[in-house]
Amino acid sequence: MRTHMKRPLPQTYAFLICDQAFQMLPTGKWCVIGTFDAILVGDLPARFPPFQVFLSLGEFMGDSMIQVIMRDDHGEVVYDVRGQVPPIPDSSPLSNFELSMPFPNVEFKREGSHSLELSVDGNVISVRSLRVHKGAPQEGGTPE
């Protein structure tokens, strides 16, 4: 009789919102460019240019559904991105798994704090926030 051991949930080592994230060839190193945690929009609703979420997970062996759900401060889903990760051959619990998830042209309807929930196989393992501010661009491009 075969028994199934429940796998431990992965550890979140990085959960970054950024302009770009890509893997360099042939080194395999990731370049994460333009990280941010707040955006400034003119009028609402507003479409924001494409951005990405970069993730680094430890103790992750693959064979799982990874999902990032963005919600506004009323709990409404703003955007949802998911992907199935196949089993990772020759991985060990000590190796990191890194990936980037695209958020193309997200429409923001409200100001305020938005949450991004990272889940693996339906289990939320990490949450981070993104603030949306309405106003005129300031020197330096970020709100205070």
Q: Tell me the pTM.
A: 0.86
Contacts of 123 (CB under 8 A, 6+ apart): 9
Contacts of 126 (CB under 8 A, 6+ apart): 12, 15, 117, 118
Give the number of other Cβ atoms within 10 Å of residue 76's Cβ: 11
pLDDT exceeds 70 at position 138: no
State how far the Cα of 20 lies from the Cα of 51, in Å rounded to an integer: 6
Q: What angle is formed at CA 114 by the lines to CA 129 and CA 45, rounded to 5 degrees?
A: 145
pLDDT of residue 3: 45
What is the arithmetic mean of pLDDT over 88-103? 83
Average pLDDT, the chain: 89
Q: What is the pLDDT of residues 39-61, one digit of tens each?
A: 999 999 999 999 999 999 998 98
Long-range pairs, 136-140, Cβ under 8 A, ≥24: 136/42, 137/40, 138/40
pLDDT of residue 34: 98
State how far the Cα of 116 lies from the Cα of 129, in Å rounded to an integer: 6
Contacts of 99 (CB under 8 A, 6+ apart): 54, 55, 66, 83, 85
Percent residues over pLDDT 90 in the chain: 74
Q: What is the pLDDT of residues 66-89, one digit of tens each?
A: 999 999 999 999 999 999 999 887
Percent residues over pLDDT 70 in the chain: 88
Q: What is the pLDDT of residues 6-17, one digit of tens each?
A: 678 899 999 999
